[in-house]
Amino acid sequence: MTVAVVGASETTDLGRIPDLSQTQLHADAAFNALADAGLTVKDIDGIATAGASPVDLTHYLGLEPRWIDGTSVGGCSFLIHVRHAVAALEAGFCETVLITHGESGRSGVGRGGGGGGAASFASQFEVPYGPMGPTTLFGIGVLRYMKQYGMTHEQLASVAVAQREWAGMNPRAMYRDPITVDDVLASRVIAYPFHLLECCLVTDGGGALILTKAERAKDFPQPPVYVLGTGESVESPMISQMKDLTSSRNFRIAGRDAMHAAGISHDDVDHVMIYDAFAHLPIYGLEDLGFVGRGEAGPFFEEGHTRPGGKLPVNTNGGGLSYTHTGMYGMFALQESVRQVRGQAPAQVDNVNVSLCLGVGGMFAAGACIVFGKEMP
Partner 1 sequence: MSKEGLRPRYAPTPTPETAHFWEGTKQRKLLLQRCMDNGNVYFPPRARDPASGSANIEIFEASGKAKLISYTINHRQHPSFETPYAIAIVQLEEGPMMMTNIVECEQTPDALVLDMPLEVTYEDVSDTITVPLFKPAGASS
Contact residues: partner 1, CB under 8 A: 19-21, 23-24, 27, 31, 34, 40-42, 59-62, 109-110, 113, 118-119, 121, 123-132, 135-137, 139-144, 147, 188-194, 238, 240-241, 245
140 vs 368, beta carbon nearer partner 1: 140
Rg of the chain, C-alpha, whole Å = 22
For residue 332, what are the CA distances in angstroms to 121, 133, 320? 31, 21, 9
Residue pair 272/255 in contact (Cβ under 8 Å)? The answer is no
Could you tell me the smallest distance in angstroms from the CB atom of residue 246 to partner 1?
9
Closest to 195 measured CA to CA, from 144, 142, 239, 248: 142
Q: Determine the distance from the C-alpha atom of residue 155 to the mean position of all C-alpha atoms in its chain, rounded to a whole number.
A: 23
Residue pair 163/322 in contact (Cβ under 8 Å)? The answer is yes
Backbone φ and ψ of 13, nearest 5°: -115, 160
24 vs 355, beta carbon nearer partner 1: 24
Residue pair 214/290 in contact (Cβ under 8 Å)? The answer is no
Could you tell me the smallest distance in angstroms from the CB atom of residue 280 to partner 1?
11
Exposed (0-12), middle (13-18) or buried (19+): which is 2, by Cβ within 10 Å?
exposed
113 vs 319, beta carbon nearer partner 1: 113
37 vs 312, beta carbon nearer partner 1: 37
30 vs 264, beta carbon nearer partner 1: 30
Could you tell me the smallest distance in angstroms from the CB atom of residue 207 to partner 1?
29
23 vs 324, beta carbon nearer partner 1: 23
Closest to 288 measured CA to CA, from 342, 348, 368, 209: 368
31 vs 226, beta carbon nearer partner 1: 31
Could you tell me the strand order of the sheet in which 354-361 lies? 226-234, 366-373, 354-361, 271-274
Angle formed at CA 252 by CA 151 and CA 355, multiple of 5 degrees: 90
Query: Rounded distance, CA 148 to CA 142, Å?
Result: 10
Could you tell me the smallest distance in angstroms from the CB atom of residue 92 to partner 1?
25
